[in-house]
């Protein structure tokens, strides 16, 4: 099974982190290409003493110390190197009153490298919802055609299809994700496929409870049946390394402002090179193509960037460049391992508390940096309120599909102590009830 470029297991994690430590200077040097930013202050990673490195990463954020932010699944803060880059580029562009559109082309190359794609396959959007919508609105679907996705899809992933359904009569079919096995999800998808199935979509990692899908296996299934496969990766890029060349999906959407640590209002859409023509360019304008005739037609760019149009806040794309650079320098695999370790600590701590059950998969291969739990003694709302009010822990309520739970989504700016505090707080709240 090959669900993304790097496979991560409980057994090899320690070995892996160690291996990274040995090769860290090479990894560091790898981030020094064109467009990279000086990230002075981050020390070299030392596998014997990783805490110094992670403290420096944490110090790269301007997050308030008045509370602990544990909601990267909702919105990820940008590090100060990112916010400084946005401010500087914005000031520079305002001074000369230019759009800075050339930035889009430069950063496209870096975004392609970051996601394991070709440059022509990358389109910059404003968020994951816009990326999902371009696919849902643009594919050639007729009344009665069927789309399958998981019932835990975020509104940013489901609404574009529901809207298309209302407009064009396509049929939406959903399955409840299986938190216990990759194969179970494949079977649930397969059971819904009919001759009218045109699209399968899954969240790479689900937002409510953090279930990881085996997207490469789903891509193989979809391809074998001639079905378009779209991935909503709002919860994957930046949390785990994503190598689209190995997954084999037709399209992939993500946010820049969650796990990638980019500025708010950034998103990416990938469309496989050989499928670009199948997605209608519903919003077209300057930057969608180079040449046109009046009356006559437009010659669209051959790549996915035909969906970029009009004037854009290019300083945000510059910020996204710096965010990708920042992550690459830290090490995408190292980031993944760090988040998975935090969640493993949370998992063990929360599971041990009387009345608490964890909804996130117990299999470490099926989870990464999201953990969702509930208590049979304290309802999710008062539990979340108490965590926020009494312990200054910013988590998120999960009301989707009546799950009525609390989600914690730690990232690189969270310390092991932050996560231990969640466990201690939940313990205290439920034992006082």
Ligand X SMILES: Cc1ncc(COP(=O)(O)O)c(C=O)c1O
Provide the binding-site residues for ligand X, judged by CB under 6 A.
Answer: 74, 127-129, 154, 156-157, 203, 207, 232, 234-235, 255, 267
Which residue reads 């409510």 in tokens?
208
Question: Cβ of residue 266: shortest distance to ligand X, in angstroms?
Answer: 8
Q: Which is nearer to ligand X, 203 or 369 (CB)?
A: 203
| 374: helix, strand or coil | strand
Q: What is the DSSP string of 251-270?
A: EEEEESSSTT---TT-EEEE
Q: Which is nearer to ligand X, 128 or 378 (CB)?
A: 128
Question: Cβ of residue 75: shortest distance to ligand X, in angstroms?
Answer: 8
Q: Which is nearer to ligand X, 208 or 331 (CB)?
A: 208
Question: Cβ of residue 194: shortest distance to ligand X, in angstroms?
Answer: 25
Taking only Cα atoms into account, the Rg of the chain, rounded to an integer number of angstroms, comes to 22
Residue 68: strand pairing partners? 393
Question: Cβ of residue 34: shortest distance to ligand X, in angstroms?
Answer: 27
Q: Which is nearer to ligand X, 86 or 253 (CB)?
A: 253
Q: Shortest Cβ contact with ligand X: which residue?
A: 156
Q: Rounded to 5 degrees, what are φ and ψ at 334?
A: -65, -40
Q: Which is nearer to ligand X, 37 or 158 (CB)?
A: 158
Question: Cβ of residue 203: shortest distance to ligand X, in angstroms?
Answer: 4
Q: Which is nearer to ligand X, 157 or 349 (CB)?
A: 157
Question: Cβ of residue 247: shortest distance to ligand X, in angstroms?
Answer: 16
Q: Which of 412, 269, 256, 285 is nearest to 337 (CA)?
A: 412
DSSP state for residue 151 in the 8-state scheme: T
Where does 385-425 show beta strands of DSSP type E?
Answer: 393-394, 396-398, 405-408
Q: Rounded to 5 degrees, what are φ and ψ at 425?
A: -65, -45
Question: Cβ of residue 267: shortest distance to ligand X, in angstroms?
Answer: 6
Q: Which of 108, 158, 121, 113 is nearest to 251 (CA)?
A: 121
Question: Cβ of residue 339: shortest distance to ligand X, in angstroms?
Answer: 15
Where does 132-282 show beta strands of DSSP type E?
Answer: 146-150, 171-175, 197-203, 228-232, 251-255, 267-271
Q: Which is nearer to ligand X, 128 or 218 (CB)?
A: 128
Cis status, amide bond into 24, omega within 30 of 0: no
Greatest C-alpha distance within the chain: 74
What's the rounded Cα separation, in Å, for the pair 216 and 35? 31
Asked if 138 and 281 count as a contact pair (C-beta separation under 8 A), the reply is yes
Q: Which is nearer to ligand X, 377 or 397 (CB)?
A: 397
Question: Cβ of residue 207: shortest distance to ligand X, in angstroms?
Answer: 3
Question: Cβ of residue 268: shortest distance to ligand X, in angstroms?
Answer: 10
Q: Which is nearer to ligand X, 24 or 129 (CB)?
A: 129
Structure tokens at 377: 């003694």
Q: According to the 3-state scheme, what is the secondary structure of 71-99?
A: ECCCCCCCCHHHHHHHHHHHHHHHHHCCC
Q: Which is nearer to ligand X, 177 or 289 (CB)?
A: 177
Q: Which residues, in sequence order, are CB contacts of 257 under 8 Å at separation 6+?
A: 75, 76, 78, 127, 263, 264, 265, 266, 267
């Amino acid at each position: 099974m090959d669900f993304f470029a790097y496979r991560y297991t409980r057994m090899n994690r320690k070995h892996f982190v160690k291996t990274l430590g040995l090769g860290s200077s090479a990894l560091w040097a790898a981030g020094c290409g064109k467009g990279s930013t000086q990230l002075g202050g981050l020390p070299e990673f030392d596998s014997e003493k990783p805490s110094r490195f992670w403290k420096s990463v944490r110090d790269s954020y301007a997050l308030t110390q008045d509370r602990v932010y544990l909601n990267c699944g909702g919105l990820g803060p940008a590090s100060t190197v990112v916010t400084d880059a946005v401010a500087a580029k914005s000031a520079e562009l305002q001074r000369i009153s230019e759009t800075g559109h050339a930035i889009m082309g430069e950063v496209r190359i870096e975004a392609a490298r970051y996601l394991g794609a070709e440059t022509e396959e990358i389109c910059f959007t404003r968020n994951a919802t816009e990326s999902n919508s371009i696919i849902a609105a643009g594919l050639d679907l007729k009344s009665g055609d069927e789309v399958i996705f998981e019932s835990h899809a975020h509104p940013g992933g489901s609404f574009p299809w529901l809207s298309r359904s209302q407009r064009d009569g396509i049929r939406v079919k959903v399955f409840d994700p299986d938190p216990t096995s990759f194969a179970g999800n494949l079977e649930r998808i397969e059971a819904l496929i009919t001759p009218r199935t045109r699209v399968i979509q899954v969240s790479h990692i689900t937002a409510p409870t953090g279930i990881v899908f085996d997207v490469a296996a789903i891509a193989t299934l979809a391809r074998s049946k001639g079905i378009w496969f779209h991935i909503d990766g709002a919860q994957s890029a930046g949390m785990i390394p994503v190598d689209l060349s190995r997954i084999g999906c037709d399209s992939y959407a993500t946010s820049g402002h969650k796990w990638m640590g980019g500025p708010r209002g950034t998103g990416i859409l990938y469309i496989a090179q050989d499928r670009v023509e199948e997605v209608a360019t519903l919003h077209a304008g300057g930057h969608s193509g180079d040449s046109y005739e009046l009356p006559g037609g437009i010659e669209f760019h051959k790549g996915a960037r035909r969906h970029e149009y009009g004037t854009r806040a290019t300083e945000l794309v510059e910020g996204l460049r710096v965010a990708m650079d920042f992550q690459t320098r830290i090490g995408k695999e190292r980031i993944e391992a760090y988040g998975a370790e935090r969640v493993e600590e949370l998992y063990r701590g929360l599971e041990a508390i009387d009345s608490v059950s964890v909804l996130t998969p117990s299999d470490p291969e099926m989870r990464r940096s999201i953990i969702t739990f509930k208590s049979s003694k304290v309802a999710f709302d008062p539990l979340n309120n108490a965590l926020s009010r009494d312990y200054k822990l910013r988590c998120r309520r999960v009301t989707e599909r009546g799950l009525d739970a609390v989600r914690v989504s730690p990232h690189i700016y969270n310390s092991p102590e932050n996560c231990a505090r969640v466990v201690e707080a939940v313990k205290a709240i439920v034992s006082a009830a």
